[in-house]
Amino acid sequence: MKLPYDYPVNFDLCVIGSGPAGIITALEYANLNPLKKVALVEYGIGNQTENALDNSIQINNTINHHPPLECTNKGFGGTSATWGGRCVMYDDIDFIDRPILNDGCTWNLSLFKDIKPFTTIAAKYFECGKPQFNTAGIPALSNKPIAEGFKPGIVTDDKLERYSMPTRFGKRYEATIKTQKNLTLLEGYEARDFSEPNETGKITFLTIREVTTKKMTRLSAGAFILAAGAQESTRILLRNSLIFKNLTTPPAALGKYYQGHLSGKIASVKFSGDPKKTNYSFEKDTDGTYVRRRFQFSTDFLKSNNLLNTAIWLDNPLYFDPRHHSGPMSFMYLAMITPVLGKKLAPPAIAHSITKGKVNKVGAHLGNIVKGLPGSLIKPAAIFYKRYCTTRKLPGIFLFSPENTYALHFHAEQIPFEGNCMKLDKDGETLIIDYSLTDADISSVIKLHDVLDKWLRECGCGELKYWFNKDELTSAIKNMSKDGLHQSGTTRIADTPDRGVVDTNLKVWGTDNIYVCSSSVFPTSGQANPTFLLGTFAARLAQHLTEMPVNKSTGTTEKSYQVAALTL
């Protein structure tokens, strides 16, 4: 909706950003509080691609970080327009301080315990089935190892990732939002500046700028939630240093400790048992939700060995390398590198993870396709149907290996490192992102591959085959790992403003009524993709604001909705 300039713009709650975090918080709060008025302010108009926000971000390391346009989507529904829908739970270890984190674990297990009840609400929004992230209770998986001979111990195989539809939050919740009478969606407005806080930290209004006309309007609310994604929520706080005037300085952690995940492949696993007993692909939970298992490492082992939380899952060999001799894989690779078609099949960041941006040995790929006929065409056609023509989409493609050999994909925690940061350029607008991998990040990934290798050998289950010489592994990881999609750390939770930016209820330190609901509040990145946990925090925040009525904080009453707009 467009804001008429005589529209009453006084709300109980103003949520900035309509990605998964914004939509869950706004809808939950509006439902829990039918007499309260909620505004959901969204910058993007329609399915926006090129936009001024992304164009004013400068990434200093383009090897390890995707360009801004590939990292987020601006528009109703946010980045869920292209996300993969992988819902993963954080682990206990992510909330436990370890020396390797350099004092960077500023949340704790009691908070983890506190948010767990909200996973049920989050799972409903993500449409990923019940919030159970292990094999127990799933008949197809319980009591079956990932591969014949595997025994759980310091390495585990019972953790699960679950898959959303994938739910595109804009499309999925558009009708619900329209019928929610106390919720107003304002599209095409950029949240700009907060008013100066009073002595207790209360902020009374936010200036929003219409994207097309650049007209400024004041929007008053009892509370404000920044749910604009990690980069933009951080940028808004950096630009609004005035809101911290009740602290001696803005929190030192603001914009710092930026993390994502190390991700890539350095080895294959060759299992020694029956290939047909290897659990290499997706399974379905009883309600049809796709789930998949992975190798992880026990909490005690990671703690006592001071290593970073890491998941390693079975994968296909590299698509671009025709030495896999698979007709279906070659067919899919050629489809992905075909201009126009490739863009329709996957968002750029995902396409890059498959093709590595390479046009490689097309002739040899064609040879694989011919040799593999008719399977080279039938298999991709079946996959295409399941992936693009059904409501619950096949989340990915994993092909059976008769040799019982699979590539291993690692997805690893990154150390909260102060030098990885977001900061404003001299113009006060451009967001500069410094991002790199530390030696400790990389060495933990290598060590955990060795641990997995040793464990599989001890079980008599299999062994790893490295793709690189040992002395090449560090540089291989440095060159292959690329993130920017899973952004955390820059507005982290902590018990004091000296260590973090928001408190455990996500309220910005030094203010009384600004909250951040973004994965930027996560002080550690764990092995998990962040959005499911973010949805859990969003549901909890809606509940928290309900218990602590936002109107009380400003002393406004229901009548105050009728205050006329102030156009600047």
Ligand X SMILES: Cc1cc2nc3c(=O)[nH]c(=O)nc-3n(C[C@H](O)[C@H](O)[C@H](O)COP(=O)(O)OP(=O)(O)OC[C@H]3O[C@@H](n4cnc5c(N)ncnc54)[C@H](O)[C@@H]3O)c2cc1C
* Binds ligand X (CB under 6 A): choice among 106, 330, 518, 527: 518
Q: How far is the CB of 253 from ligand X (least distance, A)?
A: 19
How many Cβ atoms are within 10 Å of 1's Cβ, its own excluded? Answer: 13
Q: How far is the CB of 269 from ligand X (least distance, A)?
A: 23
Q: Which residues in the 74-133 window bind ligand X by CB under 6 A? A: 74-75, 78-80, 82-86
Q: How far is the CB of 456 from ligand X (least distance, A)?
A: 27
* Binds ligand X (CB under 6 A): choice among 10, 64, 217, 531: 531
Task: Judge contact between 262 and 399, C-beta under 8 A.
Answer: no
Find, among 524, 531, 476, 518, the residue nearest to 263 by Cα.
476
Q: How far is the CB of 501 from ligand X (least distance, A)?
A: 15
Q: How far is the CB of 85 from ligand X (least distance, A)?
A: 5
- How far, CA to CA in Å, does 498 sit from each of 494, 503, 508, 509? 8, 11, 12, 9
Q: Which stretch binds ligand X (CB under 6 A): 300-308, 309-317, 403-411, 531-539?
A: 531-539
Q: How far is the CB of 3 from ligand X (least distance, A)?
A: 13
Q: Which segments of 240-361 does DSSP mark as H helices, in order?
A: 299-304, 327-337, 341-345, 348-355
**Amino acid at site 238:** L
Find, among 352, 490, 351, 357, the residue nearest to 414 by Cα.
490
19 binds ligand X (CB under 6 A): yes
Give Cα 187 distance to the centre of its chain. 23
525 binds ligand X (CB under 6 A): no
The 3-class secondary structure across 405-447, one letter per residue, is EEEEEEEECCCCCCCCEEEECCCCCCEEEECCCCHHHHHHHHH
491 binds ligand X (CB under 6 A): no
Find, among 1, 20, 342, the residue nearest to 168 by Cα.
20
* Binds ligand X (CB under 6 A): choice among 310, 414, 519, 553: 519
188 binds ligand X (CB under 6 A): no
191 binds ligand X (CB under 6 A): yes
Torsion angles phi and psi, residue 48, rounded to 5? -70, 135
* Binds ligand X (CB under 6 A): choice among 11, 17, 68, 312: 17
Nearer to ligand X, 191 or 545 (CB): 191
Can you tell me the distance from the alpha carbon of 242 to that of 262, in angstroms, rounded to the nearest whole number?
35
Q: How far is the CB of 520 from ligand X (least distance, A)?
A: 8
488 binds ligand X (CB under 6 A): no
- CB under 8 Å to 15, separation ≥6 — which residues? 22, 25, 26, 29, 38, 39, 40, 41, 224, 225, 227, 517
Task: Judge contact between 62 and 205, C-beta under 8 A.
Answer: no
Q: How far is the CB of 397 from ligand X (least distance, A)?
A: 15
Residue where the block lists tokens 């291993």 = 408
- How far, CA to CA in Å, does 382 sit from each of 278, 318, 373, 386, 390? 22, 21, 14, 6, 11
Residues near ligand X (CB under 6 A), total: 43
How many Cβ atoms are within 10 Å of 50's Cβ, its own excluded? Answer: 8
Q: How far is the CB of 226 from ligand X (least distance, A)?
A: 9
Nearer to ligand X, 26 or 266 (CB): 26
* Binds ligand X (CB under 6 A): choice among 54, 91, 127, 232: 232
* Binds ligand X (CB under 6 A): choice among 160, 228, 238, 329: 228
* Binds ligand X (CB under 6 A): choice among 105, 203, 221, 227: 227
Q: Find the radius of gyration of the CA atoms of the chain.
A: 24
Nearer to ligand X, 217 or 376 (CB): 217
- How does DSSP assign 78-116, residue by residue? GGGGT---EE----GGGGS--GGGTT---S-HHHHHHHG
301 binds ligand X (CB under 6 A): no
Q: How far is the CB of 430 from ligand X (least distance, A)?
A: 14
Nearer to ligand X, 82 or 268 (CB): 82
22 binds ligand X (CB under 6 A): yes
Can you tell me the distance from the alpha carbon of 548 to that of 561, in angstroms, rounded to the nearest whole number?
19
Can you tell me the distance from the alpha carbon of 338 to that of 351, in angstroms, rounded to the nearest whole number?
11
Q: Which residues in the 335-374 window bind ligand X by CB under 6 A? A: 347, 349-350
Q: How far is the CB of 294 from ligand X (least distance, A)?
A: 14
Find, among 223, 222, 212, the residue nearest to 186 by Cα.
212
Task: Judge contact between 225 and 16, C-beta under 8 A.
Answer: yes
250 binds ligand X (CB under 6 A): no
21 binds ligand X (CB under 6 A): yes
Q: How far is the CB of 514 from ligand X (least distance, A)?
A: 14
Give Cα 240 distance to the centre of its chain. 25
Q: Which stretch binds ligand X (CB under 6 A): 224-232, 256-264, 314-322, 467-475?
A: 224-232
Residue where the block lists tokens 């820059």 = 490
Q: How far is the CB of 75 from ligand X (least distance, A)?
A: 6
* Binds ligand X (CB under 6 A): choice among 91, 148, 187, 190: 190
Q: What angle do CA 327, 288, 136 make, to 5 degrees?
A: 100
Q: Which stretch binds ligand X (CB under 6 A): 13-21, 132-140, 276-284, 325-333?
A: 13-21
* Binds ligand X (CB under 6 A): choice among 57, 329, 415, 485: 485
How many Cβ atoms are within 10 Å of 143's Cβ, its own excluded? Answer: 8
* Binds ligand X (CB under 6 A): choice among 3, 12, 15, 18: 18
x/- track of binding to ligand X for residues 56-75 (CB under 6 A): ---------------xx-xx
Q: How far is the CB of 533 from ligand X (least distance, A)?
A: 8
* Binds ligand X (CB under 6 A): choice among 220, 530, 540, 556: 530
- Residues forming contacts to ligand X in the complex (CB under 6 A) are 16-22, 41-44, 53, 71-72, 74-75, 78-80, 82-86, 190-191, 227-229, 232, 236, 347, 349-350, 485-486, 518-519, 529-532, 534
